[in-house]
Amino acid sequence: MNKDPTPKRGRPKTLDRDQILQTALLAYWSSGPTNVSISDICSMTGASKPGVYREFGSDDGLKKSVLETYYDLAVQPLIDILEKNQSTNETTDAVIDFMTQDREQLGIPQGCLFVMMRAHAQHLGPSTFEALQDVRRYLFGAYEAWIERSKSRGEFANIPTDIAAQFIDAQHGGAMRMQREGMPNDSIAGVLGTAFRVLVSDERSGARMN
């Protein structure tokens, strides 16, 4: 993702950028990206509002920076799974395991901040909206490249690549919604396994798909 390299001007910086980003990330993830204000972030961190504005420029700038941080935390690892040299069944198992991790044990909120931001995209600023579109393109590119590799090995159903990528994206969004609603991860994994079953060629379907 493109990060703004322009040096910030003004008084010497006293705020902890990483603390602001981590606090905002968890707050947006827990409460929703449109339900948390910069004033809320300042209250949580003790930072001044002028200091946050100097660092990030605007609420839009803060949300864009949080999305960039979240990309490294939760989107790139999913892409790494898709790019790993393994069978289609191994990849689908790994994707399901990744999506249904025990969030409480990891100390992170339920669901997916990227999915939540997409659901509220019309209420976000232009920089965040553009960054969302970039993340979506990166993720869909990874889906499509994985699908094409699986097809080349005869391990993928005869479904158009773009349609299959949209289907996977829909399953991801649905799984994250169910997780936010409190559905047990084992049940979500079962739903995902059933969904992925239609993508894997019958002759190559494995134990997780049955």
Indicate the pLDDT class of residue 205, thresholds 50, 70 and 90.
Answer: very low
pLDDT digits (tens, 9 = 90+) for 105-156: 999 999 999 999 999 999 999 999 999 999 999 999 999 999 999 999 999 9
Q: Compute φ and ψ for 131, nearest 5 degrees.
A: -65, -35
Band the pLDDT of 97: cuts 50, 70, 90: very high
Distance from chain centroid for Cα 114: 4
Cα separation, 128 vs 119, in Å, equals: 13
With beta carbons less than 8 A apart as the criterion, state whether 120 and 32 touch.
yes
Structure-token pair, residue 82: 């898709």
Q: Which of 52, 49, 45, 3 is nearest to 22 (CA)?
A: 45
187 three-class SS: helix
Does residue 46 come out as left (phi exceeding 0), alpha (psi in the -120 to 50 range) or beta?
left
Mean pLDDT of the chain: 91
Write down all domains in the chain, each with its CATH number in brackets.
Answer: 67-209 (1.10.357.10)
Predicted structure pTM score: 0.86
Per-residue pLDDT of 145-193, as tens digits, reads: 999 999 999 999 999 999 999 999 999 999 999 999 999 999 999 999 9
